[in-house]
Structure 1
Amino acid sequence: MSGKDDKQGKAKPAQTREDRLKAALKTNLGRRKAQTKARAKARPEGQEGTEPSTSKRET
């Protein structure tokens, strides 16, 4: 084996890692979009821009 083969062998795993990362990002983005759509659909009319409060307040 020559040094040339070694360089090509190392480039391929980096490429496959990049492809995996791209696929994971695309999947995550699709999931987040679907979640946002579901939340918007479940939200009553007139509460378009408000998020439910998650902070604990003492009254």
Structure 2
Amino acid sequence: MILLRFLLSLFAFIGALAAAGALVVSIVLMLRFPPLLIAVALACWILYWLLKKAGKPFQ
């Protein structure tokens, strides 16, 4: 049981590390290529607009 808990913790740590790495890489790419930053900002604005139009709370 201790080994199973250790493996679960290890995989959770590796997953968190991979997610943080992907976030850093995407931010670097957005800063390196401005059209990508514009596309992400536009996608966030469209999602905000659709949620507001649907009447769903977004906070």
Same fold (TM over 0.5): yes
Q: Gaps (5+ residues) in structure 1?
A: 1-10, 51-59
- Give the percent of matched residue pairs that are identical in Structure 1 and Structure 2: 3
Could you tell me which residue of structure 2 aligns to residue 30 of structure 1? 20
CA distance in 2, matches of 1:49, 1:17: 39
Q: Larger C-alpha radius of gyration, 1 or 2?
A: 1
2:11 maps to 1:21: yes
Letter in 2 for 1:24: I
Q: Select the structure with the greater relative contact order (CA < 8 A; seq sep ≥ 6).
A: 1
SS in 1 for 2:39: coil
- Please give the TM-score of this superposition, normalised by the length of structure 2: 0.59
State the Cα RMSD in Å: 1.3
Q: Mapping of 1:1-59 within 5 angstroms?
A: 11-44=1-34, 47=35, 48-49=38-39
Q: Gaps (5+ residues) in structure 2?
A: 41-59
